[in-house]
Amino acid sequence: MIAIVPLRAALLSALLVVSTIGGARADDASPWVGEAHSAVRLLAGSRSGAVLLGGIAFQLQPGWKTYWRTPGDSGVPPRFDFSKSDNVEAVTILWPAPTAFPDGAGGTSLGYKSQVVLPLRIVAKNADKPVTLRAAISYAVCEKLCVPVEANPELAFNNVASTQDGALAAAIDTVPVPANVGDPNPVTIRDVVMRGDTEVWVDVVAPPASNVSLFVEGPTPDWALPIPKRTPNAPEAVQRFTFPLEGLPPGAHAEGAALKFTLVAPDKSYEFNVNLN
């Protein structure tokens, strides 16, 4: 995920180039697969070279939600297996910024409502041969209760302009861009500080009254750090978020750990990699 900035630019440039070729086909999206509360399908962008842009589109019934790669206080992250694909070397999922919502048990979950497209960076083994993406997808949708869902869509990528290029470009725009602490962006993390060995403070610079959210992930999926909470005790022009150092796996230490922070603002979202010290 560190290479999202050049990847974003390269993929968008490719979409602009191939979208001028013409001859769009109707088979650039797989049929919807799902159940009563949700459906999922694959999207194919215009094919150009060995690196392809695709997507996984989720459609959810009103009131139902699904989860981000880190679900928050409760929930099940989606799982994806592309191993049965043809002529595919690797698939990288680019995650749009999530929203926070009550989990029904007094906590907060992270995920998506209504609809979302997860962009995919697909590397073909051979740029001159056909590519067929086959996905085994396991995810959960929740209202008051959660329903597990299994889906197995598949889709061939063709060397033509795709009608899905606009949707995929819009989805890429919702993916947080990499940033560094202290960057001169309108919204940024100014400082990350460990307070003893029990708490972390994160100071965020944002326009006054700006509605920003902050999420944190550990270096491996078995870390279950709490969602940072905004505190009123902050310096002027700063929004301070804090979280306790809880949810570490056995034997893990916070000091020196590589954490990933996702800072979500109304207009743009950012992703920071920070080593605690």
* Spatial distance between the Cα atoms of 62 and 40, rounded to a whole number of angstroms: 15
**Contact, 37 vs 148, CB < 8 A?**
no
CA 241, 244, 247, 252 dihedral sign is positive
pLDDT higher than threshold 70 for residue 133: yes
pLDDT higher than threshold 80 for residue 7: no
Q: Please identify which residue in the block is written with the tokens 């109707």.
A: 26
Q: Say which range, 21-30, 176-185, 204-213, has the weakest mean pLDDT.
A: 21-30
Mean pLDDT value of segment 97-126:
93
pLDDT higher than threshold 70 for residue 137: yes
At 71, the pLDDT band (50, 70, 90 cuts) reads very high
Angle at CA of residue 141, ends 136 and 145, nearest 5°: 135
Q: Shortest CA distance to 143 belongs to which of 71, 203, 87, 62?
A: 62
Mean pLDDT value of segment 74-98:
96
Mean pLDDT value of segment 246-263:
94
User: Can you give the pLDDT at residue 250?
Assistant: 94
At 15, the pLDDT band (50, 70, 90 cuts) reads very low
Mean pLDDT value of segment 222-237:
90
Q: Which residues pair with 65 in a beta bridge?
A: 113, 142
At 159, the pLDDT band (50, 70, 90 cuts) reads low
- Find the length of the chain: 277
In this prediction the pTM is: 0.87
pLDDT in tens, 22-55: 333 448 999 999 889 999 999 999 887 889 999 9
Count of CB atoms situated within 10 Å of the CB of 49 = 13
Q: What is the mean pLDDT of the chain?
A: 88
Mean pLDDT value of segment 182-198:
93
More confident residue, 5 or 243: 243
